[in-house]
Amino acid sequence: MTAKPFRHVILLGILIPWTGCLRPVPAPTPVVVSRPAVNPPVPQKSEMLRHLEGVWESRGANGNQGQMIFSPDGTLIFKGKMEFYNPARWELDEARQELRLTLPEADNNRLQVFQIAVGDGVKAFNPTTKQITYTFNTEIWALQVAGWAYSKSEGADSPARQELEPNQ
């Protein structure tokens, strides 16, 4: 009589695993972990770059005003005076303390003034690439461009602002 219960145990031992194989095992649900959005660090502009970017002004004796606008993307725009130099580009080499202006569309005759100014405000001039090099650092408040003095006049404490508006 003990053979029947033993048979049932063997039968159950065979059937139980076999019935488990009849149904497919459900795929595990993926666990999604949401991470907070992390903005990449924004590189800080150097003091020299902050000093250069923006508007530099030139005031003529007859009251006409010109501007050089140094945009963060490296474009330089002349307004009011010398618009014939547009479009222009600039690049700043902080290690060498050099500012380079490139005037690719300028007429060669209009660039001769930079050759004459080498050593007198202009550090170097390359007529082939139409590139003018200036010494530049945070102490420079005026640039001689084609015979015109352009001054950085942003901020009440700038030497250029004090020079242009001595009574204030």
- How many whole angstroms separate alpha carbon 65 and alpha carbon 57? 7
Judge whether 31 lies within some domain: no
What is the predicted pLDDT for the residue at 96?
A: 96
In a domain, residue 110? The reply is: yes
- For residue 54, is it within any domain? yes
Judge contact between 88 and 74, C-beta under 8 A: no
Task: Tell whether 128 is covered by a domain.
Answer: yes
Q: Report the C-alpha gap between 44 and 113 in whole angstroms.
A: 36
Q: Which of 141, 147, 143, 145 is nearest to 161 (CA)?
A: 141
> 94 lies in a domain?
yes
Per the structure, the count of domains in the chain is 1
On whether residue 42 sits in a domain, the answer given is no
Instruction: Give a yes or no: residue 56 inside a domain.
Output: yes
Does residue 85 fall inside a structural domain?
Answer: yes
118's CB contacts (< 8 A; 6+ apart) are 124, 125
Alpha helices, DSSP H only, in 23-129? Answer: 47-52, 108-116
Q: What pLDDT shows up at residue 17?
A: 57
Domain that holds residue 139: 47-152
pLDDT for 16 equals: 60
d(CA 56, CA 33): 51
Q: What is the pLDDT of residue 157?
A: 47
Query: What is the chain's pLDDT, residue by residue, as a tens digit (168 residues)?
Result: 555 666 666 665 665 655 555 566 677 777 777 777 777 776 678 899 999 999 999 987 777 789 999 999 999 999 998 999 999 999 999 999 999 999 999 999 999 999 999 998 899 999 999 999 999 999 999 999 998 899 997 654 444 444 444 443
